[in-house]
Structure 1
Amino acid sequence: MFSYEVICFSCRKAFRVYEGSKEYERFKKNRNSAFCCEDCHHQIRIEAIKYFFR
């Protein structure tokens, strides 16, 4: 299985994107794009939901 190591724009930690995922396809199309790891993605989404219901 192919994978790439990408840097999270939020926490600056390296994580892997694996073949078949959406992030992998985005990386193949545009390597200069900003990527977010699963933990940060979840935190950002929860914060957005909380802010929406205020």
Structure 2
Amino acid sequence: MIFYTSVCMGCKQEFKIFEGTQKYKQYKLDHDKKFLCDLCEGNVVDQARKNFYYKNR
């Protein structure tokens, strides 16, 4: 399986971007683009959901 390695924008750790994913396609187009690892991306999504629910009470 083909992959690229990138540094996470959130936790600053290296992670792999595997072939066939949306991140892989974006990385091939622009190698300078910053990405989040799956764990940090999940945390961002969770925080966004929490903020959305609290604001719409």
TM-score (norm 1): 0.95
Q: Are residue 12 (structure 1) and residue 31 (structure 2) matched?
A: no
Secondary structure, in 3 states, of the residue corresponding to 1:53? helix
**Count of equivalent residues:** 54
Where do 4+ consecutive residues of structure 1 move more than 3 Å?
none
What RMSD, in angstroms, separates the aligned Cα atoms of the two structures? 0.6
Uncovered stretches (5+) of structure 2, i.e. residues with no partner: none
2:3 matched to which residue of 1? 3
1:40 matched to which residue of 2? 40
Uncovered stretches (5+) of structure 1, i.e. residues with no partner: none
AA aligned opposite 1:31: H
